[in-house]
Amino acid sequence: MSDWNDNVIADFRANQGRIGGPFEGAPLLLLHSTGAKSGQERVSPVMYQAAGEGYAIFASKAGADTNPDWYHNLKAHPEARIEIGTEIVDVTARVLDAEEREPVWEEQKARYPGFADYESKTDRVIPVVMLARR
C-alpha cells in the first residue's frame, strides 16, 4: 500500500492536485496527520467532499473491518494539515456524530457509488471526519 500511496502522492504534487488512474476527476487531498503512537508525520491521499468551509473525509478503508491508520491518528491528534490542489491548509479534525454524518455520507455514496460498495463489505459504521480550517 505504501508504494501505491507514494505514487498517488507524487502524481498529485506533479499535477497541481489532479491525478489520473482510478481517482481521475475525483476530489482528492493529501492529509498530513501525526502518528497516534509514533508521533511521526504521515501523509495519506484521501477523497473528500467540500462541506461548507470544511472538507469531509471518509474512513472507508475500501470496506475493511478496521478504520484506516489516519483515522486513529486524527483521533489522537486532531490538528492536521492538508494539501488541496496547490494550497496547504491547517485544519482541525472532528468525527461527525450520527445525525451530522448521515446527509454527508448519503451524498458521498450518491456521487461515488464505490462508497456504497465499501459500506456493504463491512459491519462497521464508516466514520465521516470533518476537517475545519484553523
- What DSSP string runs through 45-93? EEEEEEETTEEEEE--GGG-SS--HHHHHHHH--EEEEEETTEEEEEEE
**In this structure, what C-alpha cell is assigned to residue 30?**
493529501
Cα separation of 5 and 125, whole Å?
Answer: 24
CATH number reported for the structural domain that contains residue 101 in this entry: 2.30.110.10
What pLDDT, on a 0 to 100 scale, did the predictor assign at position 1?
59
What pLDDT, on a 0 to 100 scale, did the predictor assign at position 2?
79
What pLDDT, on a 0 to 100 scale, did the predictor assign at position 54?
96
What pLDDT, on a 0 to 100 scale, did the predictor assign at position 9?
94
User: What is residue 96's DSSP assignment?
Assistant: P
State the total domains in the chain: 1
Which domain covers residue 21, as residue numbers? 2-133
**In this structure, what C-alpha cell is assigned to residue 73?**
491518528
What pLDDT tens digit does each residue of the chain (134 aa) get? 578 899 999 999 999 999 888 888 899 999 999 999 999 999 999 999 999 889 999 999 999 999 999 999 999 999 999 999 999 999 999 999 999 999 999 999 999 999 999 999 999 999 999 999 99
